[in-house]
Each structure stands twice: as C-alpha cells, then as structure tokens.
Amino acid sequence: MSEEKGTFKEVYDALFGKPWKMWVGAILLSTFSICLYIIMSPWGASGGVLNWGQQLINPLFSQGTPQSIFENRYAMLCILILVGSFSSALLAKEFAIRIPPIGELVKGLVGGLIMGIGAIIGSSCTLGGFYSGWPALSVGAFVFTFGMVVGVFVAVLYLMFEAEKYPSFSSGESKTFLSGGNWQPIAGIVVFIVGLLFLFLFDPTTALVVMGFTFFGLLIGFVLQRSRFCIVRALREPFMTGESSAAVAVMIGIIVGLFGFAAIKFFAGGSPTMFVFGNLWISGLIGGILFGLGMTIAGGCVVGSLWRAGEGQVKLWFSVLGMFIALPITALMKSDLLQIFPAEMTTSTMYLPDVFGSLVGDNPLIGYMGAVLFVLAIIALWYIIVKWNERTGKLARM
Amino acid sequence: MVEIDHTLDCKGLSCPMPIVKLNSTIKKIEVGQVLEMLGTDPGSKGDVPLWCKRKGQELLEVSEEDGIYKFIIRRNK
C-alpha cells in the first residue's frame, strides 16, 4: 500500500511538483495544433475571444446576431483553455485569486485593448501571425512577427522606464485569496472532469469539429499552465534579461508545426490558403506593432492572458476584458480604418511555396522545399542571434 | 538568520513585473546588503533564481508559505 502511495506521489510530483520545461510544452502544443488542423484548422485564439465579444457588442451596434459560442470552434477552444488552465493550476496548488495594485489592472486593460485593435488590423495574434502562421508558410505571418518584435522592444523600454521613474504605479495594496490548501488538487480533478463533460454538449453526428476543438482546448489549457508557455516571454527576454530558453522552446514548437502543416498542405491536400491571411503589408506591420506593444504591457498575448486568467491572475482578467471589448469594435471599423491605404497595401496575401515555386516554373515540390528551408533558415538565424545575445548581453536592457 | 535590509513587495504582480521591479530595486541598495522579495506569481519560482544566476547576485533562500513566495537575495555586485 505504502509503495503504491509512493508511486502515486512520484507521478504527482513529476506532473505537478514543478513547472514542465517550456520546450516540452511547445512540442505537445504543436502536436495538438496539428491534431486541430487534421480536424479542421490549426490552433488560433483571437477569433475565439472575438466571437465572445461579438455576443455583446454586435447587438449593441445593431449588427445582428453573431454565430453562437457553441457553434464557433475557436470560441469553445478559448473557453476550454480557461478551464484546462484552471484545473491544472488547482492540481499543482498554484491557483489563487491574485489582485494586483490598481496600476497593474490599468495596464492589463490597456494592454488588452491595444492587443485587440492590433489583432484585427493585422488579422492575427501570436498564433495566426507567428506560432501557427510560420508553419502555415504565410509571408504575412513574418511581417506581423516583425511588427510584434518592434512593439515588444518599445514596450520593454516603457516597462523599465516605469519601474525606474514611477515605481509606485505597480506598487500598493494587493490581495490574494484562496491560495494553497490541500483542497486544490481534488478541486482540480473535479474541474477537469467538468471540462470533459463539455464534450457531451455536442451531437457527434453534426458537431464533431466543435467537439474536437473543445477537447483539445482542455488539453491545451492544461499544458499551457504546466509549462508556463509564453510567446511574449520568447520575444521579450532577449531584450530584457537576455535569457533565451523561451525563444528556443518556441523555435522547437514552430519546427514541429512546420513539418506537420507542410505535410498536410503538400501531401494530404490541405488548402494552401489555410492560415495565410490577407494582411500584407501595412496592416500586418501596424497590427503586429500594436499587438506586440499590448501583449508586453498586459503580460500575456491572447492565449497567454487566457491561461493566466485561469490560474487566477486578475491583471489578465482585465487583459481578456480589454480584448473582449476591442476585438469586436475594431472588427466593425476595420474597413473604414484601412481605407486610407490602397487595398493592395492592406489585404494582399503571399504564400511562400508560390514564391519559391515561381522561381522554377511553378514546381510545387520545389516550392514547398524552398519554403520549409526558408523558415528553417530564419529560425537558425534567430537561434544564432538569441544565443549570441545571451552570451554578450548586447540587446538586453537589464 | 540573515538580516534583511530592504523588502520588495511584489505580491499580486504577474510576469514580468516582479523581475522588472527586482532589477530596478537591486540597483538602489548597497553591495553586500540583503533584499527580501515577496511574490505570488508561480512563475517567480523559476524566474528569480535564473535572474540571480545571470546577474551574479546571490540567492540565499527561497521559501513558500500560504501561496506567498519569499526570496532572500544578497547584492553581490
């Protein structure tokens, strides 16, 4: 009996005793993303929170009824990310309602609002415009990512300025409720089971896709919290502490996704346009800059805010609220906002295999080989830069 | 028992603010002095030791009680 108890404790400690390595999370998340793509389409997030917000905003602006949350696969995915993260944080006894000083709540809300605007302008978030977008071989994703890097750098400078000159903004009264407690792991199991019960909301003969997204949402939320998977961190740390492990984890995840997505698109007849959004060039760039700024100020991108909201970080509740408001409102105004630019500068798409294929008489095999090698080369260059920076601290502002 | 010279309260703050504030506060104390940092972000459990290692500061003690993490850090340089 005691031996069984010892084995159980060993398994519990391995899963919940300390955070998983972020690269382990990245491999699992990319695998889940490939599963989602097999079901219908890769891992995304901003579309889900957009659908949540549309439930409130669209009727307010007489825009008709949006698609039901229970019919929108990304809306369900995002709900279950919250549930999965909540369950995982409880199981690890890491859940607590953490209310930060008021300045931090303001930053959460403002960051969320800016992110929401950026996501709509650039038709992407850290997933569609980066983590899923690069493997989808979209040129627009590279433009959006470049914009995000600019936004992240500016926001890091702001955060450091604020801490130096106005430390009181992030100081003051904070409150923490429900932390610790041996009740948490049991509650975590209950929440996970409730998450699984969501699957029974759907009729498998008519709603198998939404059911699949609901299931993988639960797993994704769980893995995000355990591995503290954070794309903001991957882009931010080289400019802050110079530390590179998060960047390397994201690189590993993108490489897994790259081979999976390319195989689906080339060998399995997947649509080339999947996750290749019409955001070239100015809209992707401006959207990326805004999104990078917002997510760094908020301390989480769309999924990063969702999983931290699930572990009880109230600042990120405000970030989700900001996106909930800004995503649907900006979506109503997008075409008017972008009218100041010529359409070909805001809505064009470009698919990397077409670019490389056209160099050799539209040969699709060469096109895909060139595109995959191009993405791998960009990742290699990124790796060299972050490792050089980790050694020398040339880009690190701390 | 180490004598604490300064306390930095990061309770309620989420990543990256604890590290941003730690980095800024450590510069304001004398070399050799000891800073106590309190936080509630589970991410700090990994972030603070990593930051100390990279910055060459000495992490004397890490503890956790009722969901509050306490880090005792000596400024080495």
Residue of B nearest to A104 (CA): B13
ipTM given for this complex? 0.92
Nearest CB to B40 within list A98, A167, A241: A98
Nearest CB to A315 within list B14, B42, B68: B14
Residue A314: name the closest of A331, A334, A300, A335 by CA: A300
What gap in Å lies between CA A316 and CA A298, rounded to an integer? 7
What gap in Å lies between CA A349 and CA A139, rounded to an integer? 7
**Residue A172 touches chain B, beta carbons under 8 Å:** no
CB contact under 8 A, A230 and B46: no
Nearest CB to B15 within list A92, A167, A299: A299
Mutate to test the interface with B, among A159, A165, A230, A244 (most CBs of B within 10 A): A159
Does pTM surpass 0.90? yes
Mean pLDDT per 10-residue segment, chain A (398 residues): 78 92 98 98 98 96 92 98 98 96 97 98 97 98 98 97 93 89 95 98 95 98 98 96 96 98 96 96 97 97 98 97 98 93 93 91 90 98 98 92
Alpha carbon B47 to its chain centroid, in Å, reads: 10
Using a CB cutoff of 8 Å and minimum separation of 24, what contacts does A358-366 make?
A364/A266, A365/A266
Nearest CB to A243 within list B9, B54, B66: B54
Q: Which two tokens stand for residue A345?
A: 């500068």
Residue of B nearest to A227 (CA): B43
Q: Which residue has the tokens 């999370």?
A: A25
What gap in Å lies between CA A32 and CA A223, rounded to an integer? 10
CB contact under 8 A, B16 and A233: yes
Cβ atoms of A282 and A118 within 8 Å: the answer is: no
A88: containing domain: 2-397
Kindly state the helix (H) or strand (E) to which residue A322 belongs, with its residue range: helix A314-338
- In this structure, what DSSP letter does residue A67 have? P
Which amino acids of B are annotated catalytic? 15
Q: B7 by DSSP, 3-state: which? A: strand
Count of alpha carbons within 13 angstroms of residue A223, beta-carbon side: 18
What are the distances in angstroms from CA A264 to CA A32, A269, A270, B11?
14, 6, 5, 46
Instruction: Identify all chain B residues contacting A92, using CB atoms and an 8 Å cutoff.
Output: 42
At A2 the pLDDT is 67
* Number of separate domains in chain A: 1
At A5 the pLDDT is 76
Q: Which residue has the tokens 């990120």?
A: A316
Instruction: Identify all chain B residues contacting A167, using CB atoms and an 8 Å cutoff.
Output: 21, 24-25
Q: Which residue has the tokens 């030791």?
A: B49
Cβ atoms of B29 and B58 within 8 Å: the answer is: no
pLDDT of B1 > 80? The answer is no
Q: Which two tokens stand for residue A184?
A: 């948490």
pLDDT digits (tens, 9 = 90+) for B8-67: 999 999 999 999 999 999 999 999 999 999 999 999 999 999 999 999 999 999 999 888
CB contact under 8 A, B46 and A171: no
